[in-house]
Amino acid sequence: MFLNSNLLKTLSCFGLILFSLNVAAQQTDTLKTHTLTQVSGQVVDALTGKPLPYISVTFGGSSYGAYTDKLGKFTLKAPGLFSQITFSYVGYQSITKTVKSGEINELAIRLRSSQTQLKEVSVTTGKKQRYRNKGNPAVSLIQQIINHKDENRMESSDYLQYDQYERIGLSFFHLSQKFINGRFFSKYKFLLDTTQKINGQTQTALPVYFSEKLSQNYYRKNPEKSIQVLNAQKQINIIKFVDTAGLDIYLNRLYGNNLDLYSNNIFIITNQFLSPIANHAPDFYKFFITDTIKTAKGKLVEVSFTPRNKGDLLFEGKLLVTLDGHYAVAGCELNVNKQININFMRSLKIRLDFVQDAGGRYYLSKSDVTADFGISRTKGLGVIGERTVVYTNYKLNAPQPEAFYQGKDLQIAENANREDTSYWAGHRTDTLSGQQAQIYGKISKLEKMPSFKRTMWIASTLTGGFADFGAVQIGPINSFFAFSSQEGLRFQGGGRTTPKFNKSIYLEGYGGIGTKDKQLKYDLITYLSLNKTAPYRFPNDYFKASYLYDVDVPGHSFSINNRQAALSSFQTGATNYWLYSTIFRLDYVKDFENHFSYDVIFKNWNQQPAAKLVYGLNDANNTIVHNLTTSELGVRLRYAPHEQILQGTQDRHTIYSKYPIMELMVNHGFKGFINGSYAYTNFGVNIFKRFYFSQLGYSDVTLMGGYLTGKVPFPLLNISSANQSLAYDLNAYNRMTYLEFVSDHYVGLNFTQSFNGFFLNKIPLIEHLKWREYLTFKILYGGLRNENNPLYSNNLYKFPTGTNGGNGTYALGNVPYTEAGVGVGNIFKILRIDVIKRFSYLDHPGIAPYAVKFSFNPDF
């Protein structure tokens, strides 16, 4: 899956920056302290003297607040004259202190525990007690929470409205002293944060990304509708070679875009974790009552929980639950154990704070998520991300006008990009640390440094594939060399223009030549952008004219889901069928913000068979056809509701979610127009959907179908997508040979089940390997009408036969083509091995029923 491989790629890119950064002198944001009230200090337990983390610190009568860190330390500053500050946390007596308004204050706070009603009693016997759900009061309490979930969820209201402040930061840590003190980094130490707390220890960190957002959220229950209005945002990004907008989307998804404890599943770290209060949570978790606490608003019970199986995607932590008959969650801490089957993650800590409203309901007031990653579990360079969200101004059952709910799910206010420091100082509802407040000024200075610009140029060239020279980019560099049986060693060079050349006109192209066929290949493209956006950026709105001459295998014209690895250097069996194509195309491409898009395409295509591919008529003279020309007009429609994308330098990559992706293609060929030889109409449809099954992983399902009208030779039929490379192809038939099957009507189903290690995690001696299991099944059913079959109809091309080293071409018959496989992934964290078995058409020449395929898929 791309999203996860992209993260590992990003991590490796991060390492590149650390060893190549050249930056300059320190600069800090300045705040007008004479308008601020600031309080700093430490909070400790009054009895033990131990620091107390996560204590809520708020100015009286305001929405400004902060939390103590792992050492109990805090800093709260806000514009205004505040005279009182309150410290509170469930299980401790709240305390309010008087401070000097408009000045800097230092406090040492000692909090006392609330009265404890019941402590956990441990009974030790000679035999280990077996955990049981039956008769366990903790499980009975969890069941009460489950039974009352609907009444306690804020979304159970008909209408809901609240304000949201969101902050995300990303930093490197575990930087080697040799690197920090070396000559290469000596000028840039001002960037370092020496105060960051990571897993309870003070670490030296290098911030690379920081983002803040202010938004208003609206929810309507029936019909269900969610709208977010983004009022303000501010971002800085050192790693310029990574798309900032895409990185923000990915980090939000990675660190929990919507942490709803009351849902059965919580989506975080690109996986579904089962909530400890999911409907079937007692089947997967062990629960224990560890404390009963008396507070001013009533009793709370502390329930601790841990996974039954340490390798499953489950949390461990504790809940604080009310005993007022509503059984609401008043506080929550979620962590993971070190045996969990997630790669690269060293720790994950989630804290959810709830506040009781006037009606007695508890609503989420703040969520804090911290997770750090590294190639090694315990040492070496690491990446840590922190996402904090503060929720304020809840309003229940206060509907907006009906027309408001007809708007877009995400709405961005005018002038939402707010760079001024004073605006954020007056509007953010959480306090930045001293280092966070300085980061904007530091990065602003950094971005002006010539050495930094050189570093980003190198990094973006290596990761994005294009060397940027301002108005022109050279690349893609990964296409400079290739190899195939038809061309031999291929050398290629190309480039494209950028908005610095012209914001409306973009030029692109390449030229290449093979050492074996010695033919010059090229592609010349011109774009006219109507929205002044580069064609490789979203959204598209452009006209495109292109002229191409190149070589490939048959089967790339009509199959929507065709992504063959035909030019891979490593193949199984002979690849003897090749085409030299000359294609002139005119396109109009339009994207809409709701991720509906359409392409209108005119294509004139001349194809010349090569190698052992021969176009021979089935007439009395066995006439050889050296050129086949078609002229066609096509329309492609695509709809991906709620799609989120990562923007690459060449392609956009969908972040897979529960929503489907639907495509429809219609092509019509015109006989006699610009040498078009045939008239036909080809319809194709493709629907992809990912289904999540909590602890059982997820299923990827693709439905496809096609129908062609008219009489055409086999190169214009639907050529089934095959894969003869050693690499596993999710979208192709991995035991089918190139050009093996053609049809004029077909339906197909591709199914992949990823269990995320659910079964292997429970096998002794294997569970520690953290392997993951896959099942795949593909079926293709179709046929070929007699009018398009050269065995029954004249003036058609004869199918290639399975002789002289070729595998032959066949009509897809009444028996469906089927293949299935089992795979084991996450081997050494990157390798997946699949064993594929083919079940039908085993009598075709050169067919072996089994094959082993490999893929490299770094995954969380």
Among the listed ranges 281-290, 377-386, 514-523, 696-705, which one has the minimum average pLDDT value? 377-386
Rounded Cα gap, residues 494 and 474, in angstroms? 6
Q: CA dihedral defined by 256, 257, 258, 264, rounded to 10 degrees?
A: -50
Distance CA 596, CA 590 (A): 9
Diameter over CA atoms, the chain: 105
Kind of pairing between the strands at 104-111 and 745-754: unpaired
CB-based contacts of 358, cutoff 8 Å, min separation 6: none
Cα gap 111→41, rounded to integer Å: 13
- Give, to the nearest 10 degrees, the angle between helix 450-464 and helix 2-18: 150
Question: Does pLDDT of 564 surpass 70?
Answer: no
Arithmetic mean of pLDDT over the chain? 85
Q: Are 280 and 308 in contact (CB under 8 A)?
A: no
Does residue 449 carry a pLDDT above 50?
yes
φ and ψ at 322, to 5 degrees?
-75, 155
Q: Which stretches of 238-284 are assigned E, i.e. beta strand?
A: 265-268, 271-274
- Percent of the chain scored above 70 by pLDDT? 90
Residue 380, Ramachandran bin (φ over 0: left; ψ between -120 and 50: alpha; else beta): left
The alpha carbon dihedral of 422, 423, 424, 426 has a sign of positive
Please give the average per-residue pLDDT across 725-741, as a whole number. Answer: 90
The predicted model gives 342-367 an average pLDDT of 86
8 A C-beta contact, residue 180 and residue 203: no
pLDDT score at 194: 79
CB neighbour class for 194 (10 Å; exposed up to 12, middle 13-18, buried from 19): exposed
Query: How far is the C-alpha of 290 from the C-alpha of 144, rounded, in Å?
Result: 17
Q: What is the DSSP letter of 151?
A: H
In angstroms, what is the C-alpha Rg of the chain? Answer: 31
Q: What residue has token string 């035999």?
A: 127
Of 590 and 300, the structure prediction assigns the larger pLDDT to 590
Name 197's Cβ contacts closer than 8 Å, sequence gap at least 6: 69, 70, 71, 203
Please check the confidence at residue 759 and state whether its pLDDT lies above 80: yes
* AA letter at 567: L
CA 760 from centroid of its chain's CA atoms: 25
Instruction: Evaluate if residue 701 carries a pLDDT over 80.
Output: yes
> Which residues are within 8 A (CB) of 722 and not within 5 positions of it... i.e. 6 or more apart?
555, 564, 732, 733, 736, 737, 738, 739, 740, 741
Compare 52 and 27 and report the one with higher pLDDT.
52
Question: What was the pLDDT predicted at 1?
Answer: 34
The token pair that represents 570 in the structure block: 């490593």
Q: Rounded CA gap, 50 and 86, in Å? A: 19
Mean pLDDT of 506-533: 95
**Per-residue pLDDT, 562:** 31
Residue 206, both tokens: 């290098």
Write down the pLDDT at residue 435. Answer: 81
The helix (H) or strand (E) run that includes residue 435 is helix 434-446
Residue 142 pLDDT grade (very low, low, confident, very high; cuts 50, 70, 90): very high
In terms of pLDDT, which residue wins out, 422 or 748? 748
Both tokens of 326, joined, read 């509503």
**pLDDT exceeds cutoff 90 at 829:** no
**pLDDT one-digit tens code per residue, 201-233:** 778 888 888 999 999 999 999 998 999 999 999
Pairing of strands 741-743, 810-811: parallel
Task: Summarize the confidence of residues 544-551 as an average pLDDT.
Answer: 96
| 605 — pLDDT class (breaks 50, 70, 90) | very high
DSSP string, 616-647: EB-STT-PEE--EEEEEEEEEEEE-TT--EEE
Instruction: Report the candidate in 345, 291, 280 with the shortest Cα–Cα distance to residue 318.
Output: 291
In single-letter form, the type of residue at position 391 comes to Y
pLDDT for 186 beyond 60: yes
Q: What's the token pair of residue 325?
A: 């008959």
Read off the pLDDT of each residue in 125-137 and give the average, rounded to a whole number: 75
CB atoms within 10 A of CB 765: 6
**Strand-pair category, 285-295 with 271-274:** unpaired
Token pair in block for residue 598: 């359409």
- Predicted pLDDT of residue 62: 76
Q: Which residue, among 823, 831, 699, 686, has the nearest Cα to 752 in the 3D structure?
A: 699
pLDDT confidence band for 122 (50 / 70 / 90):
very low
Q: What is the pLDDT of residues 32-74, one digit of tens each?
A: 334 789 999 999 988 878 888 778 888 887 768 787 877 888 9
Instruction: Provide the CB-side half-sphere exposure for 325 (13 A, CA).
Output: 1
Mean pLDDT calculated for residue range 441-451 = 80
> Higher-confidence residue: 841 or 572?
841
Q: Give per-residue pLDDT as tens, 369-405.
A: 998 888 877 778 888 989 999 999 999 889 999 999 9
What pLDDT score does 244 carry? Answer: 67
Give bridge partners of residue 347 from the DSSP assignment.
372
Task: Indicate the DSSP class of residue 487.
Answer: T
